Amino acid sequence: MHYKIHTPLDDNTVAKLKAGDTIEITGTLYTARDQAHQRLVELIQKGQALPFGLKGQILFYAGPAPTPPGKVMGSVGPTTSSRMDLFTPVLLAYGLKGMIGKGPRSPEVKAALIKYNAVYFAATGGVAALLSSYIKKAELFAYPELGPEAIYRLEVENFPVVVAIDAWGGDLYDQNRELYKEA
């Protein structure tokens, strides 16, 4: 199936998405990679407020290239998601509904996606000039000292992703590997 969805995500939207669906996202994404994840989880563990409410939001695992003058955003694309696996269940428990990255996730993350009704999208790696063209507004939002690892707030229009792991345990990486494997 092909869907156009908007952020923030609600439970019904998440529940209808199935591994393999192609999606265009319009709305807000927050970039976060290793160090930002560490900080967010630390804040949760200390019981302190986060820089933004996680409820219904989508995190984009990305560390953009610098923005040239006159452009909205420099090249931006997904980084390997498995490095975030340890942190993800904690954030999902706090209301996070979606993540965009590349590559497979751990069994713990898959279980947490089922438990909290959330979804993992894959964006294509290595097509960062193309992906930046779907970004209509970008703002350095938190932790500027982290450079490319800072949190950016992005407004996107029809941002193209695939549902890689759905809230029902469907995993496109596993399914398609089996489907296309030749003896």
Partner 1 sequence: MREISTLEVTKAIKDLCLQANRVLRPDVLEAIRASLGFEVSPTGKEIMEQIIKNAGLAVSEQLPICQDTGYVGVFIELGQDVLLKGDLTLAINEGVKEAYDEGYLRKSMVACPIFERENTGDNTPAFITVDTVPGDKIKITVIPKGGGTENASRLQMLPVSGGVEAVKEFVLEAAEGAAKSCPPVIVGVGIGASFDKVGLLAKKALLRSIADSNPDPELAALENELLVRINKLGIGPAGLGGRITALAVKIEAAPTHIACLPAAVTFNCHAARQAEAII
Q: Which residues are catalytic?
A: 37
Residue 124 CB, nearest approach to ligand SF4 (Å): 9
Q: Which is nearer to ligand SF4, 56 or 78 (CB)?
A: 78
Out of 51, 125, 148, 160, the only residue in the binding site for ligand SF4 (CB under 6 A) is 125
DSSP-derived 3-state class of residue 31: strand
Residue 39 contact, options partner 1, ligand SF4, none, Cβ 5-8 Å cut-off depending on partner type: none
According to the binding rule CB under 6 A, does residue 148 interact with ligand SF4?
A: no
- Map the footprint of ligand SF4 across residues 52-111, applying CB under 6 A: 77
Plot region of 143 (φ>0 → left; ψ -120 to 50 → alpha; else → beta): left
* Max CA separation in the chain (angstroms): 53
Residue 148: phi and psi, rounded to 5, are -65, -15
CB 165 within 8 A of CB 102: no
Residue 126 CB, nearest approach to ligand SF4 (Å): 3
Residue 31 CB, nearest approach to ligand SF4 (Å): 14
Residue 154, both tokens:
């992005």
